[in-house]
Structure 1
Amino acid sequence: MTLMDHPLSYPEVGATAGQLPDGYEHLVVHRVIGHGESTFNRAAERLMSWQVHRAAGLTVTATTARVEPGSRVRLRLGRHLLRISFACQVVYVVEEERRRGFAYGTLPGHPERGEERFCVEWRDDDVVVFTLTAFSRPGTWWSRAGAPISRRLQQRYTRRYLQAL
């Protein structure tokens, strides 16, 4: 059995769609990325084809070219001896007329345990907003030992995701 065959590493699967669970660090951030249908469609396409992750500086190896429920993705950051590799699985996809996105959950070996949701929304006032929602806690001995560094890395990549659109 490879790492990509394992079940998710946390029990609250799908919780980024509602109230975030207790016992985790919570994150909800928004960024206005523009206005109008064309901005929404472009952003949704970039999000659903893993381009946001690539633009954030991660190497992406996914089981599907487009995000779909059950897709598995291995993300890598860093180089050489400082490379970190971790895997996630898409737990749900949002495909509404004015909202698109997905959430993935962590698999064993990921430095964190939890879930992250990426969503693009075209609001009634014509504003397009990118929202990240997450809950997480350390998932490995080294992320627990280096919790301040892990948090800074998470904050850094959150900013990069927001800037990627």
Structure 2
Amino acid sequence: MDDLTYDEVGATAGEMPPGYHHVRARRVIGQGPEVFARAADALLAGEAQRRAGARVEMPHTPLREGDRVTMRLGLGILSFRIPCLIVWAERTATTAGFAYGTLPGHPERGEERFTLTLLPSGEVVFEIAAFSAPGRWFTRVGAPLGRFVQAWMTRRYLRAL
């Protein structure tokens, strides 16, 4: 994990570090173990990102800790390469998810975590936690646009499963 562009690996699991923009979002996506199982399969196959409009290259399905994943957003000269490292991945009977950290070349620096939980009530909850800061010259210059894009993608991810 030496080439990650931030130091606070795993911070999306708890208190997020100062000096970054923070995102926390959640949505109930359904009810019951069958919904959870289907959503967990899709999440760990990168489908939240694909269904949100990203092109995703990943070495394994399901995602595993240590996998390098490259996403692309946009078209033509407005296409961005988004390299990430999976810093956490897990699947149990009631939780599933992964977190990726930014690698050199990513427009931002930070971490994003996607977690599904099957609650005792039967509700299936999809949560996203992220902290980020501009990582490239164009994201520093266009920081307000970057926050807009991040909020837009977060909404798309939440609807994707």
Q: Under a length normalisation based on structure 1, what TM-score does the superposition of the two structures give?
A: 0.94
Can you list the C-alpha shifts for 1:98-136, whole angstroms capped at 9, x where unaligned? 010010000011111100000000001111000000011
Q: Distance in 1 between matches of 2:28 and 2:91?
A: 20
Consecutive unaligned residues in structure 2, runs of 5 or more: none
- Which residue in 2 is equivalent to 1:144? 140
Q: Distance in 2 between matches of 1:6 and 1:140?
A: 19
Question: Residue type matched to 1:36 in 2?
Answer: G
Asked if 1:68 corresponds to 2:69, the answer is no
Question: Residue type matched to 2:38 in 1?
Answer: R
Asked if 1:116 corresponds to 2:112, the answer is yes
- Which residue in 1 is equivalent to 2:55? 59
Asked if 1:107 corresponds to 2:113, the answer is no
Q: Return the offset for 1:96.
A: 2.5
Paired residues in the alignment total 161
Can you list the C-alpha shifts for 1:36-83, whole angstroms capped at 9, x where unaligned? 000000000000011111111100011223210001111001111111
Asked if 1:90 corresponds to 2:86, the answer is yes
Q: Return the offset for 1:6.
A: 7.1
Secondary structure at the aligned position of 2:72 is classed as strand
Residues 23 and 129 in structure 2, CA contact (< 8 A), matched pair in contact too = yes
Residues 41 and 62 in structure 2, CA contact (< 8 A), matched pair in contact too = no
Question: Residue type matched to 2:4 in 1?
Answer: L
Secondary structure at the aligned position of 2:18 is classed as coil
Consecutive unaligned residues in structure 1, runs of 5 or more: none
Residues 6 and 107 in structure 1, CA contact (< 8 A), matched pair in contact too = no
Q: Return the offset for 1:84.
A: 0.9
Equivalent positions of 1:15-26 (< 5 A) are 15-26=11-22
| RMSD across aligned positions (CA) | 1.2
- Which residue in 1 is equivalent to 2:77? 81
Q: Distance in 2 between matches of 1:42 and 1:95?
A: 12
Secondary structure at the aligned position of 1:9 is classed as coil
Q: Distance in 1 between matches of 2:116 and 2:124?
A: 7
Asked if 1:39 corresponds to 2:35, the answer is yes
Secondary structure at the aligned position of 2:5 is classed as coil
- Which residue in 2 is equivalent to 1:14? 10
**Which consecutive segments of 4 or more residues in structure 1 shift more than 4 A?**
none
